[in-house]
Structure 1
Amino acid sequence: MLRKTLLLFISIILLNPLNAQDKGMIKGRVFDSKTNEPIPFATVIVYGKIIGTTSDFDGNFVIAGLEPGWVELQVTAIGFKPYISEAVMVTRSKNIFIDIPLEEMPYEIESVVVKASPFRRSEEAPLSLRRIGIDEIERNPGGNRDISRVIQSLPGVAPSLAYRNDVIVRGGGPNENRFYLDGVEIPNLNHFATQGASGGPVGIINVDFVREVNFYSGAFPASKGNALSSVLDFRQVDGNSERLKVKGAVGASDLALTLDGPLSNNTTMIFSARRSYLQFLFNALGLPFLPNYNDFQFKTKTRIDTKNEITVIGLGAIDEFELNLGLKNPDEYQRYILGYLPVNTQWNYTLGTVYKHYASNGYHTLVVSRNMLNNRQYKFTNNDDNLPKVLDYTSWEAENKLRYERDLGLKNYSINFGAGLEYARYFNSTYRAKFIGETFTPDTYETNMDLFKWNIFGQVNRTFFAKLTVSLGVRADASSYSAEMNNLFKQLSPRLSASYMLKPNLFLNANVGRYYQLPPYTALGFANATGSLVNKTNGLSYIQSDHLMAGFEWQPNEQSQITVEGFMKFYNKYPVSKNDSVSISSKSADYGTFGDEPLVSTGKGRTFGVELLYRNKKLLGFNTLFSYTLVRSETSLMNSNLKPSGKWIPTSWDNRHLVTLTATRSFKKGWDFGFKWRFVGGPPYTPYDLATSSLINVWNVQRQPSLDYSRFNSLRLQSFHQLDIRVDKSYYFQSWMLNFYVDIQNVYNFQGDRPPLYTTVSDTSGNPVVDPNDATRYLLKKIEGTGGGTVLPTIGVIVEF
């Protein structure tokens, strides 16, 4: 199959069909971002070229005669800040529609010449905010059109375990992030998500929907709460208003179909569905597990009139994870994986409606949404359903959310304020056979919990003397879970950002803030055999993090940007496991569940470091991004009373050094080329307690070694580096577009370091061998050849008509 696809790819390239004579067209509308009023006579030109036009009385514009490819628009209008749009793909087969929101320029800075730049700045978050365009996502080498992997190229973001998309930002755990889709909060970003955290191996969001991504690694807006490390704000495209468009794609792991077009004169829609074929690929490769996923996504937008619009979004996934029990003559590693890995089925969805009403001095936003996650896991002894279960887990969590926001402009002030109310339900039925040390302590409980949450927030921005921009925000959160959590003033989180323009292209930025996050439902709902909430009795509270950061931003010219930022984060009230005295943050990047154990809110943590980012849109013709991060991430060592001892040990996210170089370039005749090189410092890991692991009773239940938490993260892996490359070839016909790409990960086959794995010594029949010197133990042996690293080629095909 691979050989035939390669031959087809090569033959189409060699044939090089004739290009159609028609060129592409962009249509759009320029309007005031606060009032939605059209802006007439705005100048709209193709960025970097001399082709352009002006908007009419209704703010509409048309630019025709464009060559196919990625295009950005530069827009200027009297009294408004200049704007450079995100990139859009121009083809011959369809017209592009783009909305251009312009911000009114305060009268204080009208005398200052403000130049347009593709690196747009934000008043409320003048630092620690990165914008990612769809062109960067589509062509990212090694990314395979997966947004989470693209984010890992940014400063401060570290990749996690192999084949996972955990977002690890500035030394914080994958459970510390929040995601928004057109203003609607979505609970997770990946298939096969870790319940209670955010990771998984494959992203859910279809990049065909994405317009741009705002990635906050600090200085979070007050309107977005419950995050400690990052906020990802996804902005989606609107549907095509002229005709139905169809797009099909075959990628590294799935087939995708996207429909995009009008539903009525004032309503557009975009819908997609994807189905994976990973289970067939994994079975052919002889892997011991067979993942299978499906997902859907849709968006409709109705412009009722010039003052009112309604957006409806939906996102959902169905994931099935089975064991490959049909393997013939499995090796030691395959038997090891089959021995402990459970069967897992999971589904989730989010539905949301956003109503926006524009007034004379701003707009009102009302967001109503519901999301739900259902998680089922089970494991039979020896994978034999005639033997007892060692795991039987069923859980679901559902949230119903209502949020109101008011954005307005008053003279020199930009103000945002609002409030939110949530009603959540959580159900869990668990039987988990497990050992704590040498003691068999199974979890057996059932929880059915109701929870209310509420919040208020406000933020005000102002520019002084045309040089100093200040943003002051405050937020307060509370929940009905317990007396420790139901007081808004106990979770009061102020934040202050400032940016000073030293020169027109040089800024000094700073931020200080306090942020709170609710522990996961798995922790809140953990119960004992009688159904009593264990962690409510333990006084579990919100997690607190204080941020302090400062840095410089320099734009040597319109095409380049250099930023240097130093950051410090101090954690307080972090949940610590009563079973092993370890903060749960270091446990949040593994499959299954996270946080469902007895906890106390006594942990402390700290991360600190410095980030360097260099971006150049045209460095030797390449769109180049270079980032370097020096980061330290530490957690408090707990004493016997589960209190901080005053000593610090590394967390699982203490990579120290992170380096990424990404470069992409478009060539003539539809060719694109890109490469990405990454260097990641070796993370710490915890050695095994082989003495406990070898006990027959322990091994028969766990089927994998027990960690020695008394030596938590005392060892460290070797550093890792990898080169990925991608080549695209696109053909633009009059009524359709065809794109082929080849993506190769780990080109030079670097063999990454992994913690050692141990299994039992087996006899000729495959049965564990008992230690001849101790009848209570098995003989254990190290599994050889489990280092990570392989060349991974992918061929993709995208057809649009």
Structure 2
Amino acid sequence: MKKLILILLFFLSFKMLGQTGTIRGTVTDKQSETTIPGATVAILGKESINAVTDDNGNFELKDVPIGRQTVIASFLGYENVALPEIEVTTGKDVILNIMLQESFKDLNEVVITSEKSKAKAINTMAAVSVRQFTTEEVTRYAGGRSDVARLASNFAGVSTADDSRNDIVVRGNAPTGLLWRLEGVPIPSPNHFSTLGTTGSPVSALNPNLLANSDFITSAFPAEYGNAIGGVFDLNLRKGNTQDYEFMAGIAAFPGAEFVAEGPLLRENGGSFLVAARYGFVGVLGLAGTDAQPNYRDLSFNINFGKSKIGTVSVFGIYGQSDIDFLGDEIDEDDLFAAKDTDAYFESGFYTVGLKHTIDIGENSYLRTTVGTSSSAENYEEDRYFNKDTPEETKIRYTESDNTESRITLSTVFNSKISKKFTVRSGILLERFTLDAKLSDREEQDDTDGDGYADLVPLLSNDGSYTLLQPYAQGQFRITEKLTLNAGLHGQYFSVNEQFVAEPRVSFSYAINQKSNLNIGYGLHHQNVAAPLLFLEENINGTFVQTNRDLDLVRSSHYVIGYDFRFAEKWRAKAEVYYQDIDKAAVERTPTSYSSLTEGADFVFSRDKTSLVSKGTGYNTGIELTVEKFFSKGYHALFTTSLFESKYEGSDGIERNSPFNNRYVINLLAGKEFFVGKAKKNIFSINTKFTTAGGRYYTPVDLEASRAAGYEIRDELNAYSLQYDPYLRIDLKLGMKFNSSTKKTSHQFYIDFQNITDNQNVFTRDYNRLTQNVDQIDQIGFAPDFGYRFQF
């Protein structure tokens, strides 16, 4: 700690330019992703602050006034581009990657001007149901907890009416339908306290300080994405500062204590390093929704060795570790995650490490290869007390779960700009999984040994490997200046059931005029049934057999049409109508209400669903509206609403509500910034968020059957027939940024009042084996979050 303080004082001692900042970055061709030398970059309204890119496409703008600025870039034969709301501070340089698109017209004609906005994807071949997001939004919006998954809940089509978990429910799909990608390769769930097969948890392990602008796609994905039917979170890591060493130290309720360091590496190649570490302590503050103490920490890095004769090489990775002990004697009766008659011990961890190599092939093509390895592990042990607090009290091991899923990934992508009208991209993704999964449980088991307790029965025992292979090819054809076609074919081979499928993807984008666009998309998608179901074991004549291994890939067809209208300067409205048809979901052989489409919104999957068949169906349909005011004149606003239906059919052929069928979601966010102080260099901000959604449907408890059995039994004949009360929450966030007048430093304080009305939203209604009644547990009520950051 003394050394850390000395280091901080050392950097604070340097006198540096005050009240201005620096913007640097690279200008690249949007289609070929090659750098553009000789491009002009300037600050809108302050054109005297300008630069010309060097031979490697790099630029630097110095003495940029602090506050929000618009950066403009231009080059002969390309469409001009403007990047609005770039926040400049004294504590940190701004790093940009500006992408220009070659003009459709000839060079001697007028080059049109376009404004880059979050309405357009970073992936040039994603035309429908896509939203670009910035890391600045993660920290700006109220109620976000510095969690990119919770940021996504503000977008149209996403429902996360749950304060305890950050599962992303896209258009009524189970959260297991989501694909997480980092630097172009799939990764396991990037969350603390995650379990096998799930994609969400209470706390994110993704550090937004390392993220660059990224894409979030909700349907009809381009051909390069596969093994997902719900959505894609395509994350990019930013590069570190290539010129100066910069640091950030902070403390906050949910991320915890954090430290970020970045700076140049191999200056002659333009390399850099970026590393960040966090340690959480939310449990100490009593904001975790449980009396137990959650412990978690994570480390992230991105090391770029710059561009050399062999190409550009970088190494990236994330590591996360978490654990928590639920001791029955130490928790409250209304605890969200534990029971008074149970001692439970849980720990989890994951890592992802990748090596990425990119080399230019000619002037307009590149080959990018990424090799990675990742692992996700969790261990859960539960002891149950019978006849608790009596002379006959007995403690027995009730559940044991020990799972490790590892994978080795190879991805190679070839991208070539054939002409200004035609670009092709093809590649192959190979994933080799190794799964060591074991699960034993007494729940709903017989007492064959006559000791008075249900037997501890092995339900899952898998120690093997399998392969997922995904080749693809796609192209973008600018048919006319107004009409663009994106089309491709994705293939998927799953070695467990030896199934290969081909998936066509296509989208059209038509610019009706300079203010409005019409987009139409279709995509066929498949995804394997989650591992906790796929490898469940069934006792057949004394032999345990994995009777779900031959299940087909779940199939989903996406149809979407959207209209985008920029009705005023800095304002945008977008409407989308979609229909998703799902079949080949896993259901039981005998007529029941069960379907694999209902899994994935909890920490565990069903443990008794064996001998399943691929005959389930479902559909999601709805309409979405987004009205957005991009940040300008000191304020921003975002309104999103979704009206939808999510239905499924089990083997009984009855159409039912999906547990993710909220029917409606409404979000309203707004924020305002004020320059304060004599020099007008400090910024006070206020942001607020209003969210309401229909309650989720749930299956009622069969109270009499549960009392007779001693454990919870749901009324499956009336599955998902009841609905929780509507969800409602209002958040208010106040912030203050201090920009130094004499040093390259800045300070930021914020306090985030979450659920300021203390609305009691329902968490669950479950059978309580201690009271032998159905009890309601509410979600976290009013919960303040706070934070401080020091950049230097």
| Partner Cα separation in structure 1 for residue 462 and residue 651 of structure 2 | 29
| Partner Cα separation in structure 1 for residue 607 and residue 460 of structure 2 | 15
| Partner Cα separation in structure 1 for residue 155 and residue 607 of structure 2 | 28
**Compared with structure 1, are the counterparts of its residues 403 and 334 closer, same or farther at alpha carbon in structure 2 (3 Å cutoff)?**
closer
Specify the code of the residue in structure 1 equivalent to 2:171. R
Partner SS, residue 532 of structure 2: helix
Q: Indicate if the aligned counterparts of 1:344 and 1:376 stay in contact, CA closer than 8 A.
A: yes
- 1:274 equivalenced with 2:278 (yes/no): yes
Specify the code of the residue in structure 2 equivalent to 1:800. Q
Aligned to 1:769: none
Question: Structure 1 residue 51: deviation in Å?
Answer: 5.5
- Larger displacement relative to structure 2 (285-294 or 367-376): 285-294
Question: Structure 1 residue 20: deviation in Å?
Answer: 7.3
Partner SS, residue 339 of structure 2: helix
Question: Structure 1 residue 576: deviation in Å?
Answer: 2.4
Which runs of 5 or more structure 2 residues have no equivalent in the other structure? 1-14, 449-453, 676-681
- Larger displacement relative to structure 2 (246-255 or 338-347): 338-347
Question: Structure 1 residue 70: deviation in Å?
Answer: 4.3
* Cα deviation 1:452-482 (Å, max 9, x = unaligned): 2212101111112212111111101012212
- 1:625 aligns with one of 638, 653, 656: 638
Aligned to 1:550: 561
Q: Indicate if the aligned counterparts of 2:343 and 2:384 stay in contact, CA closer than 8 A.
A: no
* Cα deviation 1:182-217 (Å, max 9, x = unaligned): 213211132111321201011111111112121111
- Larger displacement relative to structure 2 (464-473 or 436-445): 436-445
| Partner Cα separation in structure 1 for residue 668 and residue 46 of structure 2 | 27
Calculate the aligned-residue CA RMSD, in Å.
2.8
| Partner Cα separation in structure 2 for residue 285 and residue 542 of structure 1 | 37
Q: Indicate if the aligned counterparts of 2:619 and 2:648 stay in contact, CA closer than 8 A.
A: yes
Question: Structure 1 residue 752: deviation in Å?
Answer: 1.6
Mapping for residues 720-759 of structure 1, pairs under 5 Å: 720-733=727-740, 734-759=743-768
Aligned to 1:416: 425
Question: Structure 1 residue 666: deviation in Å?
Answer: 1.8
- 1:257 equivalenced with 2:259 (yes/no): yes
Q: Indicate if the aligned counterparts of 1:336 and 1:759 stay in contact, CA closer than 8 A.
A: no
- Larger displacement relative to structure 2 (346-355 or 379-388): 379-388
Question: Structure 1 residue 432: deviation in Å?
Answer: 1.1
Residue identity over aligned pairs, in percent, reads: 23
Specify the code of the residue in structure 2 equivalent to 1:91. T
Mapping for residues 374-773 of structure 1, pairs under 5 Å: 374-382=377-385, 387-411=395-419, 412-435=421-444, 442-483=457-498, 485=499, 488=500, 491-528=501-538, 530-536=543-549, 539-577=550-588, 581-593=593-605, 597-598=609-610, 599-618=612-631, 621-639=634-652, 645=653, 647-668=654-675, 669-695=682-708, 698-699=709-710, 702=711, 705-733=712-740, 734-760=743-769
| Partner Cα separation in structure 2 for residue 218 and residue 333 of structure 1 | 37
| Partner Cα separation in structure 1 for residue 164 and residue 337 of structure 2 | 20
Partner SS, residue 514 of structure 1: strand
**Compared with structure 1, are the counterparts of its residues 456 and 86 closer, same or farther at alpha carbon in structure 2 (3 Å cutoff)?**
farther
Aligned to 2:11: none
**Compared with structure 1, are the counterparts of its residues 196 and 336 closer, same or farther at alpha carbon in structure 2 (3 Å cutoff)?**
closer
Q: Could you tell me the TM-score, scaled by structure 2's length?
A: 0.88
Partner SS, residue 534 of structure 1: coil
Q: Indicate if the aligned counterparts of 1:288 and 1:334 stay in contact, CA closer than 8 A.
A: no
Aligned to 1:318: 321
Q: Indicate if the aligned counterparts of 2:410 and 2:431 stay in contact, CA closer than 8 A.
A: yes
**Compared with structure 1, are the counterparts of its residues 75 and 304 closer, same or farther at alpha carbon in structure 2 (3 Å cutoff)?**
closer
* Cα deviation 1:262-306 (Å, max 9, x = unaligned): 233233111111111133234x99934332111111111112327
Question: Structure 1 residue 431: deviation in Å?
Answer: 1.0
Aligned to 1:150: 151
| Partner Cα separation in structure 2 for residue 585 and residue 299 of structure 1 | 36
* Cα deviation 1:607-628 (Å, max 9, x = unaligned): 0000001111257742111111
Q: Indicate if the aligned counterparts of 1:195 and 1:522 stay in contact, CA closer than 8 A.
A: yes
Question: Structure 1 residue 692: deviation in Å?
Answer: 2.0
Q: Indicate if the aligned counterparts of 1:684 and 1:716 stay in contact, CA closer than 8 A.
A: yes
**Compared with structure 1, are the counterparts of its residues 111 and 341 closer, same or farther at alpha carbon in structure 2 (3 Å cutoff)?**
farther
| Partner Cα separation in structure 1 for residue 104 and residue 604 of structure 2 | 51
Partner SS, residue 556 of structure 1: strand
Q: Indicate if the aligned counterparts of 1:343 and 1:377 stay in contact, CA closer than 8 A.
A: yes
Q: Indicate if the aligned counterparts of 1:152 and 1:167 stay in contact, CA closer than 8 A.
A: yes
Q: Indicate if the aligned counterparts of 1:458 and 1:473 stay in contact, CA closer than 8 A.
A: yes
Specify the code of the residue in structure 2 equivalent to 1:505. K
* Cα deviation 1:350-405 (Å, max 9, x = unaligned): 11111111122211111111111111111112199973311111111111111111
Q: Indicate if the aligned counterparts of 2:566 and 2:573 stay in contact, CA closer than 8 A.
A: yes
Q: Indicate if the aligned counterparts of 1:252 and 1:796 stay in contact, CA closer than 8 A.
A: yes
**Compared with structure 1, are the counterparts of its residues 51 and 520 closer, same or farther at alpha carbon in structure 2 (3 Å cutoff)?**
farther
Specify the code of the residue in structure 1 equivalent to 2:489. V
Mapping for residues 7-18 of structure 1, pairs under 5 Å: none
| Partner Cα separation in structure 1 for residue 23 and residue 789 of structure 2 | 21
- 1:291 aligns with one of 291, 294, 298: 294
Q: Indicate if the aligned counterparts of 1:574 and 1:583 stay in contact, CA closer than 8 A.
A: yes
Aligned to 1:5: none
- Larger displacement relative to structure 2 (235-244 or 526-535): 526-535
- Larger displacement relative to structure 2 (668-677 or 319-328): 319-328
Specify the code of the residue in structure 1 equivalent to 2:727. F
| Partner Cα separation in structure 2 for residue 448 and residue 789 of structure 1 | 39
Q: Indicate if the aligned counterparts of 2:211 and 2:238 stay in contact, CA closer than 8 A.
A: yes
| Partner Cα separation in structure 1 for residue 36 and residue 63 of structure 2 | 24
Partner SS, residue 341 of structure 2: helix
Question: Structure 1 residue 681: deviation in Å?
Answer: 1.0
| Partner Cα separation in structure 1 for residue 149 and residue 170 of structure 2 | 12
Q: Indicate if the aligned counterparts of 2:735 and 2:749 stay in contact, CA closer than 8 A.
A: yes
Question: Structure 1 residue 162: deviation in Å?
Answer: 2.8
Q: Indicate if the aligned counterparts of 1:445 and 1:531 stay in contact, CA closer than 8 A.
A: no
Specify the code of the residue in structure 2 equivalent to 1:613. T
Q: Indicate if the aligned counterparts of 1:39 and 1:55 stay in contact, CA closer than 8 A.
A: no
Partner SS, residue 395 of structure 2: coil
Aligned to 2:781: 790
**Compared with structure 1, are the counterparts of its residues 68 and 443 closer, same or farther at alpha carbon in structure 2 (3 Å cutoff)?**
same
Which runs of 5 or more structure 1 residues have no equivalent in the other structure? 1-17, 640-644, 763-779
Say how many residue pairs are matched. Answer: 745
Q: Indicate if the aligned counterparts of 1:88 and 1:134 stay in contact, CA closer than 8 A.
A: no
- 2:23 aligns with one of 13, 22, 26: 26
Partner SS, residue 462 of structure 2: strand
- 1:103 aligns with one of 101, 104, 122: 101
Question: Structure 1 residue 691: deviation in Å?
Answer: 1.7
Aligned to 2:77: 79
Q: Indicate if the aligned counterparts of 1:186 and 1:371 stay in contact, CA closer than 8 A.
A: yes
Partner SS, residue 555 of structure 1: strand
- Larger displacement relative to structure 2 (71-80 or 497-506): 71-80
**Compared with structure 1, are the counterparts of its residues 195 and 594 closer, same or farther at alpha carbon in structure 2 (3 Å cutoff)?**
farther
- Larger displacement relative to structure 2 (575-584 or 233-242): 575-584
- Larger displacement relative to structure 2 (332-341 or 89-98): 332-341
- 1:370 equivalenced with 2:373 (yes/no): yes
- Larger displacement relative to structure 2 (506-515 or 382-391): 382-391
Specify the code of the residue in structure 2 equivalent to 1:552. Y
Q: Indicate if the aligned counterparts of 1:606 and 1:633 stay in contact, CA closer than 8 A.
A: yes
Q: Indicate if the aligned counterparts of 1:652 and 1:684 stay in contact, CA closer than 8 A.
A: yes
| Partner Cα separation in structure 1 for residue 645 and residue 770 of structure 2 | 39
| Partner Cα separation in structure 2 for residue 126 and residue 263 of structure 1 | 36
- Larger displacement relative to structure 2 (358-367 or 651-660): 358-367
Question: Structure 1 residue 652: deviation in Å?
Answer: 0.6
| Partner Cα separation in structure 2 for residue 286 and residue 354 of structure 1 | 40
- 1:61 equivalenced with 2:65 (yes/no): no
Question: Structure 1 residue 319: deviation in Å?
Answer: 1.3
| Partner Cα separation in structure 1 for residue 474 and residue 344 of structure 2 | 46
| Partner Cα separation in structure 1 for residue 621 and residue 684 of structure 2 | 42
Specify the code of the residue in structure 2 equivalent to 1:121. K
